[in-house]
Amino acid sequence: MNITYLLFFLCIVVCTLIITYWAARQSKTTNQFYIASGSLTGIQNGMAIAGDYISAASFLGIVGTIAINGFDGFLYAIGFLVSYIIVLFFIAEPVHRLGKYSLGDVVCARFPSYKMRGTMAVGALIISIFYMIPQLVAAGLLIRLLLNINYSTAVLIIGILMTIYVVFGGMFATSWVQIVKTVLLLSGTFLLALIVLSRFNWNFSNLLEQVAIGSPLGEQFLLPGHLFNQPLEAISLHMALILGTAGLPHILIRLFTVRDTVEVRKSLLTASWIIGVFYLIALVLGLGAVALVGYKEMVLLDPFGNLAAPLLAGNLGGDFLMAFIAAIAFTTIVAVVAGLVISATTAFSHDIYYHIIKKRNTSEKNRVRAARWTAFFIGLLSTLLALGLRNMNVTFLVSLTFIVAASSNLPVLLFTIYWRRFNQMGAITGMVSGLTASLLLLFLGPHVMNAEGGWFAIEPLIPLYNPGIIAIPIGFLGAYLGAILSKKDQGNTVPFQSFYLQAQIGIGGVRRDRP
């Protein structure tokens, strides 16, 4: 075990636990536990959103994808960035005005029923847990590699930490861990990018020339077509990335942690700038890994390129810089899984326990206790699933998360907010059809059915690795047909005019305590 790596990891753990101790003293009510009492500023929340969004897949994965696939790797990153335009213009402000703690609050502001709330809660739970598993698996592999400890021990460490953050600190602790992660991530990767550019006399063209020399593809490495050789696959992937963010519960519930819509806009603009700058830095790091570490050396150590950033840090600054970058990757994973746990916790304890099981008839103390126990069991479940899937390639769950969000939550949110004719049956049909189509298409695709290494050694029935181009239209079509073909809702729909005024300008008669 490298003592430098261990010291950096211990430093991160101690600092985040101190944050949790401070936050635990301010998380006594449900308002504090779920949304930090709406006390974050737009800039703070924007940093937390960026910290929640830039996962291990973004940090290690995007740098590695650029290092292995060149131009297409950067094109992949662009999809993540553009997605916030959809959120900013169509989703963010109505969600903030209509919701209180969860996406179930938003949809039930128009369709108040236990059936509707339960459907939204189940969707949020599935998305959060599916996204959490690959993060935990990546954490286990990273810590096992760097600290030379058992994979199961590594996953347990991450699982215990994320559970402690949420159980004791709630949204306060989660937010500040994400903010600290964002500061460390930007400062560390920016420093590394400056060192890379200094090696080439601050001339980006010199870096590109060295990349062309070091890559087995030569100058072709800098042209598109190495990762997305099928146009339909590329379009499908970017549909999922661009539209999926607008349906991710762990991102959208962060819109409740600020006091008004002005701060909501500041949050998203801040997050967009941070994410955009980070992906420019990732481009330099990915190309720098090819030029300085060497393409063959990277592929030999990790054919997927996920170690490109740590290897580059080790090449430029030895064990110290490599340990710093590895600690940032560790903080990245911890921050993201904590955000996912709080999202899943809110879906169950607020939507299912408080509204459906208790029918809003329980004390504040019991609600907070239920939220903490929910966080504990969700953390335990996710950790056990990550331990059980250690020998399987679970990277497809990341793309599945975005596809499910884009084909289920997004159609329901858009139609609920903007379509007068929409009704509860359409909302439920859209959620079920989008979720079912996403799972079925992924199951029938090459991630699971693959004669050369899938879970089942047979030819896939659906050739697309990212079937968003099929699943997303099915979700929208299911919501549309469900609304058109069903009878008009009787007695469980808020008048659209009142609802729409509330969503757009905050004036209306929509109650937030509806089922």
Task: State the total domains in the chain.
Answer: 1
Domain of residue 154: give its range: 3-505
DSSP state of 463: -
For 456, phi then psi, to 5°, come to: -120, 125
Stretches in the chain below the pLDDT threshold 70? 1, 57, 390-396, 450-457, 488-492, 508-515
Q: What is the predicted pLDDT for the residue at 135?
A: 82
- Evaluate whether 498 touches 510 at the Cβ level (below 8 Å): yes
Judge whether 233 lies within some domain: yes
Q: What is the pLDDT of residue 352?
A: 94
Helix axes 410-418, 468-485, angle to 10 degrees: 40
pLDDT digits (tens, 9 = 90+) for 177-201: 999 999 999 999 999 999 999 999 9
Helix axes 151-198 and 3-24, enclosed angle (nearest 10)? 100
515: in domain: no
Residue 508 φ then ψ, to 5°: 165, 180
In a domain, 121, yes or no: yes
CATH number, residue 352: 1.20.1730.10
Residue 118 pLDDT: 95
Three-point CA angle 84, 88, 91, nearest 5°: 105
Residue 514 lies in a domain: no
Contact 27, 170 (CB under 8 A): yes
Measured over the CA atoms of residue 254, residue 255, residue 256 and residue 259, the dihedral's sign is positive
Whether 482 maps to a domain, the answer reads: yes
Is the Cβ–Cβ distance between 117 and 355 less than 8 Å?
yes
Residue 453 lies in a domain: yes
β-bridge mates for residue 449, sequence order: 456
Q: CB neighbours of 421 closer than 8 A, spacing ≥ 6?
A: 483, 484
Answer positive or negative: Cα dihedral of 82, 86, 87, 92: positive
Q: Which of 352, 358, 453 is nearest to 396 (CA)?
A: 453
List pLDDT tens digits, range 340-361.
999 999 999 999 999 999 999 9
Tell whether 91 is covered by a domain. Answer: yes
At 446 the pLDDT is: 82
User: What span, in angstroms and rounded, lies between the C-alpha atoms of 463 and 442?
Assistant: 10
Residue 449, classed as helix, strand or coil, is strand
Q: What is this structure's pTM?
A: 0.91
How distant is the alpha carbon of residue 63 from its chain centre? 17
The β-bridge partners of 456 are 449
513 domain-assigned: no
What the block records as the tokens of 181 is: 């992660």
* Sole residue written with tokens 């890559």: 215
